[in-house]
Amino acid sequence: MTKLGLAISLDRCIGCQTCANACKMQNSVPMGMQWNRVVTEGCDIMDGAHGTYPDLSRTYLPIACQHCENPACLKVCPTGATYKDEMGRVEINYDNCIGCRMCMAACPYNARSFNWEDPVHDPDFNYGDKDVPVRVKGVAEKCTLCKERTDRGDEPMCVKCCPTKARTFGDLDDPKSAISQLIREKHAYVLLEDKGTKPQVHYFD
């Protein structure tokens, strides 16, 4: 089997938002939405810090769909629009999405966005990968692990563009893959492990 995932080095993440903008471009993510965002952990502003000056620390945390092995969103989807595909990715069949937003309530990672109105693109045309499907008002959307790129054998756009090479993409089922080795060597962990969602996005310091 193939189980695609990501491993992200938090030491190398500099909070530059390149992955977030690469995702927006590739997937034609509309204005006001982000499939992939980089937060400064525990801060209400970007580039904030923990502690009292000058005893400070800072961790940038990139968050998107965790492509869980046991996805909370999938379980609550009443139409089967959310599904786990043969490559281990969590995907959405937009045609089957009825806009109930049960998935959004269920996702502990707040990874999904919803098209409350007709999506606004600026510039107002379908930039991005030509194979990425158009979404309309009333459907949920999120990181697809760049399905269109990874189907072609390419790595996701966030991985390709990351200036510090903080992101590694690959098959978690292959113990020899670079990602599997990294996860072992760096003692990588997942977010909100206690939720039992078994994320396929791993982080290490």
Smallest separation, CB 178 to other proteins (Å): 14
Query: With the CA atoms of 18, 190, 196 and 96 taken in that order, what torsion angle do they form, in degrees rounded to the nearest 10?
Result: 20
State which of positions 95-154 bind other proteins (CB under 8 A): 95, 118, 120-136, 139
Residue 117 φ then ψ, to 5° = -125, 180
Of the candidate residues 5, 6, 7, 26, the single one contacting other proteins (CB under 8 A):
26
CA dihedral 9, 11, 16, 20 (to 10 degrees): 20
Using the rule CB under 8 A, give the single segment among 28-36, 102-110, 176-184, 186-194 that binds other proteins.
28-36
CB atoms within 10 A of CB 21: 16
> Which of 61, 100, 104, 161 contacts other proteins by CB under 8 A?
161
| Count of residues interacting with other proteins (CB under 8 A) | 58
Contact window for other proteins (CB under 8 A) among 10-18, 61-69, 176-184, 192-200? 10-18
Taking CB under 8 A as the criterion, the residue among 5, 8, 28, 82 binding other proteins is 28
- Asked if residue 63 binds other proteins (CB under 8 A), the reply is no
- Residue from 16, 23, 10 nearest 58 by CA: 10
Q: How far apart are CA 49 and CA 68, in angstroms?
A: 30
Report the distance separating Cα 18 and Cα 165, nearest Å: 11
Closest to 157 measured CA to CA, from 171, 143, 176:
143
Residue 68 or 157: which CB sits closer to other proteins? 157
Find the part of the chain contacting other proteins (CB under 8 A) among 52-60, 67-75, 175-183, 191-199.
52-60
Residue whose structure tokens are 């939720």: 195
> Residue 130 or residue 194: which is nearer to other proteins going by CB?
130
Residue 157's SS3 state is: helix
- Asked if 10 contacts 204 with a C-beta cutoff of 8 angstroms, the reply is yes
Contacts with other proteins, residue ranges (CB under 8 A)? 11-12, 14-18, 20-22, 24-26, 28, 31-32, 43-54, 56-58, 94-95, 118, 120-136, 139, 157, 160-161, 163-165
